[in-house]
């Protein structure tokens, strides 16, 4: 069977507690082309835990990548094969998470100090599965932050067969900063990623870190092969509505924000019938009306009511009515102002 080619011009970053299957279904309603990534799932959770719960996804989420956390080549190979068998389009190795918990298990950014081990992991996964194996990493860790060390890391892993690197353009400070602080305090150095592309022109290099607008995406794509957007794609998900036309050159969706939210209703009803909790799904759509009339009231109503015992999809339907009413008022006001100027 011919392998599926992924166009990673725009990716939505793996984000713990955020990019679960409910968010990904919602994001796919907005963009048909952006490549979506799961939260990081450890090899231990898959091998010793409830793999069905961790790995389940809706086929509509594709193109979809599974991000793994681990450092044991054999275990990673086993999990990569699981991903392929279940229909994931890519498996990605996390070499960027800075938390103490994952460091203690030799997972995440600390692996940047062990490029040969990462190479062994990549080689094992590639031997076990035919889907693409990619690596997401930082530009350095602690005092191992020279360009020469980064170059050595990428070269070592590339020789093992990795051809796609997702570069979070910040170093990770493993001692002294929390994971949250590691997303903001170390400065972004996009030029380092640009230099990598010049030095490794045959590799696919995707940049991640601090990207918030379509114009910023375009600028990065002038230098690299693609962008990975994180928090902005979650907190302001309508950003994804511009991706298909602006960056993939395809026809944009003709769905409005309201129609996207309404399209979630049958999905939510089906998931709740299976035992899902309303608030676990609706929390992902709170930012859909970011910056729009009624957006704050929409967010507040859902936040205050979706968690209540016995809450049903009627909570979302009422929130839709609230934002629809606010938008109608705003439109009437705008028309009145325009008429007064005539």
User: Out of 97, 110, 121, 217, which one is annotated catalytic?
Assistant: 97
Question: How far apart (Å, rounded) are the C-alpha atoms in residues 190 and 170?
Answer: 8
Contact 113, 144 (CB under 8 A): yes
- Angle between helix axes 314-341 and 295-305 (nearest 10 degrees) is 170
- Residue 171 makes CB contacts below 8 A (sequence gap 6+) with 138, 139, 140, 141, 142, 145, 186
Rg (CA), the chain: 21
The end-to-end CA distance of the chain, in Å, is 64
Among the listed residues 125, 122, 134, 118, the one whose alpha carbon sits nearest the alpha carbon of residue 6 = 134
> Contact, 169 vs 208, CB < 8 A?
yes
Q: How far apart are CA 111 and CA 201, in angstroms?
A: 24
Of 199, 41, 197, 68, nearest to 136 (Cα)?
68
CA 305/CA 241 separation, integer angstroms: 28
110 counts as catalytic? no
Instruction: Compute the distance between CA of residue 285 and CA of residue 23 in angstroms, rounded to an integer.
Output: 8
Q: Catalytic positions, please? A: 97
């Amino acid at each position: 069977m011919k392998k599926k080619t992924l166009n990673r011009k725009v990716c939505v970053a793996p984000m713990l507690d955020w990019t679960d299957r409910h968010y990904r279904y919602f994001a796919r309603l907005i963009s048909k082309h952006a490549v979506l990534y799961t939260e990081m799932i450890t090899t231990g959770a898959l091998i010793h835990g409830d793999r069905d719960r961790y790995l389940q996804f809706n086929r509509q989420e594709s193109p979809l990548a599974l991000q793994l956390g681990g450092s044991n080549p054999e275990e990673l190979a086993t999990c990569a094969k699981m991903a392929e068998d279940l229909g994931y389009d890519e498996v990605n190795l996390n070499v960027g998470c800075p938390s103490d918990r994952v460091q203690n298990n030799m997972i995440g950014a600390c692996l940047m100090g062990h490029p040969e081990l990462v190479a062994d992991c990549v080689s094992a996964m590639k031997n076990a599965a035919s889907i693409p194996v990619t690596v997401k990493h930082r530009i350095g860790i602690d005092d191992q932050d020279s360009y020469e060390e980064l170059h050595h890391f990428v070269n070592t892993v590339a020789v093992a067969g990795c051809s796609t690197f997702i570069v979070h353009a910040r170093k990770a400070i493993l001692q002294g900063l929390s994971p949250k602080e590691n997303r903001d305090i170390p400065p972004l150095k996009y030029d380092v990623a640009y230099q990598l592309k010049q030095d490794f022109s045959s590799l696919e290099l995707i940049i991640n870190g601090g990207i918030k607008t379509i114009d910023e995406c375009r600028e990065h794509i002038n230098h690299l092969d693609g962008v990975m957007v994180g928090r902005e794609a979650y907190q302001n998900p309508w950003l994804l509505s511009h991706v298909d036309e602006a960056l993939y050159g395809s026809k944009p969706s003709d769905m409005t924000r309201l129609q996207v939210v309404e399209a979630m209703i049958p999905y939510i009803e089906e998931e709740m019938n299976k035992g899902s909790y309303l608030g676990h799904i609706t929390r992902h759509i709170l930012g859909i009306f970011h910056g729009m009339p009624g957006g704050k009231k929409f967010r507040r109503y859902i936040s205050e009511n979706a968690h209540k015992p016995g809450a049903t999809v009627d909570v979302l339907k009422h929130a839709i009515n609230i934002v629809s009413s606010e938008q109608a008022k705003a439109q009437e006001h705008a028309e009145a102002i325009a008429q007064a100027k005539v």
